């Protein structure tokens, strides 16, 4: 019996080794074949894109330049007439509020969008029903007073909807209710929404984002602050290695012509360099590793792993979908709600729009039926739709902020790189997010002077440059303190009464 058992074990071991060997061989063969396909796709779309219609490059994530967004908006506006007006009730800017001290910010934003910038889109506030249950009477009165001011901006244009918080029960961090923002994916009464975190300052409306290409269901800027200048230089080399120009001007000119002529633009958009979201330069391996059927033998890295950059979640352009909403509520949230240090941006980048997985899904669909793949994701330029206030005071991030289509440079017709000052970068940005750790949010301070940026000559390596950065940074915060007077009781120039609890 013992001899038979040993033979049986030996036989089982041989079978196991044989299966492993076959698995490895099949995997190598699959990767080799897919790598050849990827190389073919790269060359095919580079050479043939001008004549293609209804067939889209599946191996890239595309970035859309600000000029192209404006060109699309201009083309849309040219089709508008008295007989064919835009139905603005199908579009909305959306905020959510779960804490009283954030409510004034929504009033500031909505006031600017309506009174200063003149948007005609709906403005929707998702407000936690917990804000109406405070045992402190003065707080309830403050909430009701600010809500009254919001409604009075325009009772037709403003929509206020009570929602139930999505809370991480064991989390005591400031972000333990941030998952509540995911409810915006279920606002299916709108064709497209622009979601905005309200701890930010608006410098213009963003109506043009409502009219991105119709198939796009999600677009957002990237977390550029995780990059270094070295990473940026690497992206230029990668684009050139793929035999593509790094001159953004060449792309925007061609895209403008195609928009004027009513042609498709997706294949002509600049691609996001793959080194920023893949973990190696073996594209086929990354695609195979990202499939749900990938063998654990070859998927040593977590399937949820994201690259150097990912989507920021403070500004998102979304086509609400019941299917996506149900997936978030029924599948994603139960997996993440009790996990430590997992919040809204993690869910969005791990469960919904992991860029590795997006490319894998695109290629899989394209291989089954070329015409079945339609691009649904775009990267927005953070230089227009999402810089952090903290970056203004970090000179090492200024070069990245000047070139917000990553891997490409703003070059003029003479071949010279266009140099933008930090003042120009900030002036041209429409949405600037307050993020200056360890400083708190501005409403935690009673006056601007309490957080004013000042240069210390004893520690500064370049007093003039640091002072310029301070001046620009100060201008953003001064603007906020001026704007928040709309929240005061009598509209006199007093600070908002809604302070951090």
Quick one: 197 and 315 in the same domain?
yes
Quick one: 205 and 296 in the same domain?
yes
Query: What's the burial of 166, exposed, middle or buried (CB within 10 Å: 0-12/13-18/19+)?
Result: buried
Show the tokens assigned to 413. 């017709």
Q: Which one of 51, 71, 90 terminates a domain? A: 51
Instruction: Report residue 411: phi and psi, to 5°.
Output: -120, 135
3-state secondary structure of 413: coil
Q: Is the pTM of this model over 0.85?
A: yes
Quick one: 40 and 74 in the same domain?
no
Quick one: 454 and 338 in the same domain?
yes
Quick one: 349 and 372 in the same domain?
yes
Rounded distance, CA 384 to CA 221, Å? 9
Quote the pLDDT of residue 495.
41
Quick one: 196 and 242 in the same domain?
yes
Q: What is the CATH number of the domain that holds 439?
A: 3.90.550.10
Please give the full DSSP string across 324-389, using - where no structure is assigned: HHHHIIIIIHHHHTTSTT--HHHHIIIII--HHHHHHHHHHHHHH-GGG----EEEPPHHHH-EEH
- How many domains in the chain? 2
Quick one: 23 and 79 in the same domain?
no
Yes or no: say if 43 and 385 are a contact pair by the CB < 8 Å rule: no
Quote the pLDDT of residue 295.
47
Rounded distance, CA 48 to CA 379, Å? 23
Residue range of the domain that includes 463:
60-501
Quick one: 350 and 251 in the same domain?
yes
Q: What is the 3-state secondary structure (H, E, C) of 259-275?
A: HHCCCCCHHHCCECCHH
Quote the pLDDT of residue 30.
58
- Residue ranges for the chain with pLDDT beneath 70: 1-4, 21-34, 167-176, 280-281, 283-284, 288, 290-306, 490-501
Q: Which one of 11, 33, 51 terminates a domain? A: 51
Q: Which residues contact 169 (CB under 8 A, 6 or more apart)?
A: 337, 338
Quote the pLDDT of residue 303.
52
Quick one: 263 and 335 in the same domain?
yes
Quick one: 214 and 293 in the same domain?
yes
Quote the pLDDT of residue 284.
66
Quick one: 358 and 496 in the same domain?
yes
Closest CA to 271 of 68, 53, 57: 57
Q: Which one of 51, 72, 87 terminates a domain? A: 51
Quick one: 191 and 251 in the same domain?
yes
Quote the pLDDT of residue 310.
94
């Amino acid at each position: 019996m013992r001899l038979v058992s040993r033979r049986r074990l030996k036989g089982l071991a041989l079978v196991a080794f044989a299966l492993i060997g076959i698995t490895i061989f099949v995997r190598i063969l699959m990767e080799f074949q897919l790598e050849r396909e990827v190389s073919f796709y790269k060359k095919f779309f580079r050479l043939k894109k001008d004549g293609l219609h209804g067939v889209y490059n599946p191996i890239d994530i595309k970035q859309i330049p600000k000029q192209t967004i404006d060109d699309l908006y201009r083309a849309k506006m040219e089709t508008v007439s008295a007989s064919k007006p835009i139905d603005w009730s199908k579009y909305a800017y959306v905020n959510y509020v779960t804490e009283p001290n954030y409510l004034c910010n929504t009033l500031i934003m909505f006031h600017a969008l309506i009174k200063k910038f003149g948007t005609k889109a709906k403005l929707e506030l998702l407000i936690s029903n917990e804000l109406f249950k405070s045992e402190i009477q003065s707080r309830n009165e403050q909430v009701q007073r600010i809500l009254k001011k919001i409604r009075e901006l325009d009772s037709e244009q403003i929509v206020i909807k009570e929602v139930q918080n999505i809370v991480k029960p064991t989390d005591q961090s400031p972000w333990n209710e941030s998952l509540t923002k995911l409810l915006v994916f279920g606002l299916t009464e709108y064709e497209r929404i622009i979601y905005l975190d309200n701890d930010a300052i608006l410098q213009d409306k963003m109506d043009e984002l409502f009219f991105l290409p119709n198939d796009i269901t999600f677009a957002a800027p990237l977390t550029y602050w995780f990059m270094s200048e070295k990473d940026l230089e690497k992206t230029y080399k990668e684009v050139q290695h793929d035999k593509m120009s790094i001159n953004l001007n060449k792309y925007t000119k061609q895209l403008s012509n195609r928009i004027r002529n009513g042609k498709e633009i997706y294949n002509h958009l600049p691609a996001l360099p793959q080194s920023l979201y893949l973990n190696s330069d073996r594209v086929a391996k990354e695609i195979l590793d990202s499939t749900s059927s990938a063998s654990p033998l070859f998927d040593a890295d977590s399937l949820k792993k994201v690259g150097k950059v990912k989507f920021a979640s403070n500004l998102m352009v979304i086509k609400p979908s019941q299917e996506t909403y149900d997936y978030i509520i029924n599948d994603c949230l139960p997996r993440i709600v009790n996990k430590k240090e997992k919040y809204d941006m993690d869910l969005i980048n791990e469960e919904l729009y992991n860029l590795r997985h997006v490319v894998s899904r695109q290629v899989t669909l394209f291989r089954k039926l070329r015409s079945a793949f339609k691009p649904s994701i775009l990267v927005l330029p953070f230089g227009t739709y999402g810089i952090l206030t903290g970056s203004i005071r970090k000179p090492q991030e200024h070069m990245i902020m000047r070139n917000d289509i990553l891997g490409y440079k703003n070059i003029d017709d003479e071949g010279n790189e266009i140099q933008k000052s930090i003042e120009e970068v900030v002036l041209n940005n429409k949405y600037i997010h307050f993020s200056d750790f360890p400083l708190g949010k501005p409403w935690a301070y009673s006056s601007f002077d309490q957080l004013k940026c000042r240069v210390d000559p004893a520690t500064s390596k370049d007093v003039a440059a640091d002072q310029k950065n301070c001046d620009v940074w100060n201008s953003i915060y001064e603007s906020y303190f001026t704007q928040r007077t709309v929240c005061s009781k009598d509209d006199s120039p007093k600070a908002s009464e809604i302070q951090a609890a």
